């Protein structure tokens, strides 16, 4: 019986360690109410909800935004989350080269529709999931819909799309403001 308290103490320590490891993996979506955003809160991508803080973070670091617009009912959104955003190499690339913002299509229908129109105006495919590459000054310069994990003759892989988005920004930077589509991410004060 004397070893029971030690076992209980060991269990308590390990349980606390496990929960601290889990919370260390959480990104900026952990406190969000949207099911779509909550579902991504433990992904290794350092997601931000749409807000002034994410936009300021991008400006301060001179990094483009990677915007993912999706919905819980969208099977391609689920596939892209599973096949790409949970992969450590993809997450590391995103976390290094972008400020990642996840938007729930259903929570922001007007904004989502506006982003789809902007993608179409920029001659980029529009639909869900919508993947957009945007300068810190909110100019859309590249994007598309579902990007598979592996390239096919018909479709660029997500890794290739990320590399293109990062390269375009690195090489052209704010000059993209002249060529892209100005968008307005209306955020809460």
Domain residue ranges in the chain:
27-182
Determine phi and psi for 127, rounding to 5 degrees: 150, -165
pLDDT of residue 187: 67
Each residue's pLDDT tens digit in the chain (189 positions)? 444 444 433 333 333 333 333 334 578 998 899 999 999 999 999 999 999 999 999 999 999 999 999 999 999 999 999 999 999 999 999 999 999 999 999 999 999 999 999 988 887 788 899 999 999 999 999 999 999 999 988 889 999 999 999 999 999 987 887 778 888 787 665
Q: Considering the entire predicted model, what is its pTM?
A: 0.83
Domain 27-182 has CATH 3.40.30.10: yes
Q: What is the C-alpha to C-alpha distance for residues 80 and 130, in angstroms, rounded to an integer?
A: 11
Read off the tokens for 43.
């992904």
3-state secondary structure 50-83: CCHHHHHHHHHHCCCEEEEEECCCCHHHHHHHHH
Q: What is the C-alpha to C-alpha distance for residues 177 and 139, in angstroms, rounded to an integer?
A: 6
Determine phi and psi for 140, rounding to 5 degrees: -75, 125
DSSP string spanning 85-117? IT-HHHHHHHHHH-EEEEEETTTSHHHHHHHHH
């Amino acid at each position: 019986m004397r070893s029971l308290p030690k076992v209980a103490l060991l269990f308590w320590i390990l349980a606390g360690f496990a929960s601290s490891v889990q919370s260390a993996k959480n990104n900026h979506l952990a406190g969000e109410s949207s099911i779509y955003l909550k579902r991504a809160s433990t992904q290794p991508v350092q997601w931000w909800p749409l807000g002034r803080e994410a936009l300021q973070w991008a400006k301060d670091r001179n990094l483009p935004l990677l915007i993912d617009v999706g919905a819980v009912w969208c099977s391609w959104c689920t596939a892209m989350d599973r096949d790409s955003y949970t992969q450590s190499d993809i997450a590391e690339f995103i976390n290094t080269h972008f400020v990642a913002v996840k938007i729930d299509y259903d929570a922001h229908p007007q904004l989502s529709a506006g982003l789809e129109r902007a993608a179409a105006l920029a001659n980029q495919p529009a639909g869900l999931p919508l993947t957009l590459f945007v300068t810190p000054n909110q100019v859309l310069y590249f994007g598309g819909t579902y990007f598979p994990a592996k390239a096919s003759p018909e479709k660029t892989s997500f890794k290739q799309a990320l590399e293109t988005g990062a390269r375009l920004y690195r090489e052209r930077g704010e000059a993209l403001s002249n060529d892209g589509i100005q968008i307005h991410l209306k955020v809460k004060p």
